[in-house]
Structures are given as C-alpha cells and as structure tokens.
Amino acid sequence: MSTPDPELKKELDATLHTRRELGPEYEGELIDAFLEKVEQRLDNVVDKRMRRQLAEQQMVAARGAATGRPPQGPPVYSDGLGARLGLAVASLVLAIPLSAIAVVNAGMTGLFTCWAGIVAVNALQASRSWFSPGRRDRDE
C-alpha cells in the first residue's frame, strides 16, 4: 500500500480542528470541503495515470510505424490487482466521511444505504474483473 499523502493528512487535521472550534453546526460544510479536496487528489492521480497510458500507447504505435508493422488489435486496458486494490482503498477512505454524512442526515437507514452502495460498487468491479475474458493473463 502506498504511503499516506502528508498534505491531505494536514487538511484532515485542519478540518477536524476547525470542526472542534466551530461546533457541529458547520460539520456538513467542512466535510464537503474536505471531500472536494480528496476528489481533486483522486482526479489528479487518475489524470496522471491516463496520460501515462496514453503516452505508452503512442510509443507502441510509433514503434509499430517505425518497423512497418500495423498495430495488432485494439489496446488492452489492464484491470489487474492494482486497479481493484485502488478501488477498495478509495472506497474505504471515502466510506468514513460518507458514513458520517449518511448518519447525520438519515440515521441508521442512511448508514445502511451508504454501505450498501459501497459494497455494490466494489462487488460490481470485482465481478467485472473476475468474469472478463483474459482475466488470467492480466492477473499474472
């Protein structure tokens, strides 16, 4: 697992400190602001990965053009252990504030609904990667 982002940890500590100072009446706004920062971080990571994959595909295409061979079929996107682990970790990290928001707004019903959604997303991703063709090739 990767090391925690120290800047994001500082943001969380600042948000918790601010909540202690301001009280629970501003909790929703503080959580929304923190989740927006987390979402920006995730977007940056995804953008960086997509740019890297695009650059790799362009390199493969350029090598194929240089050798005079046509590219062989559509690009295969890896959905291996890293992608599944990343979704699981992101789900658990986001589950904490989402659970708090759900409990504050809808009580135990909201909490169960929130966790049902988290489980459903992870189950869908697991079944998609488990039953997709060529899974054994990607996991090895």
The pLDDT tens digits for 5-52 are: 788 888 888 888 888 888 888 888 888 888 888 888 888 888 888 999
116-130 mean pLDDT: 82
In a domain, 10, yes or no: no
In a domain, 136, yes or no: no
- Could you count the other beta carbons within 10 Å of the beta carbon of residue 80? 14
- pLDDT the model gives residue 1: 45
In a domain, 21, yes or no: no
Both 124 and 86 in one domain: the answer is: yes
Both 85 and 123 in one domain: the answer is: yes
| pLDDT above 50 for 139 | no
Structural domain range at position 39: 27-63
| pLDDT above 60 for 133 | no
Both 125 and 84 in one domain: the answer is: yes
In a domain, 75, yes or no: no
Both 92 and 124 in one domain: the answer is: yes
What band does 138 get if pLDDT is binned at 50, 70 and 90? very low
Both 58 and 97 in one domain: the answer is: no
The pLDDT tens digits for 59-108 are: 888 887 666 665 555 555 455 667 777 888 888 888 888 888 988 999 99
Q: Is the pTM of this model over 0.95?
A: no
Total domains in the chain come to 2
- Could you count the other beta carbons within 10 Å of the beta carbon of residue 89? 12
In a domain, 116, yes or no: yes
| pLDDT above 60 for 111 | yes
In a domain, 139, yes or no: no
In a domain, 93, yes or no: yes
Both 93 and 53 in one domain: the answer is: no
Both 93 and 55 in one domain: the answer is: no
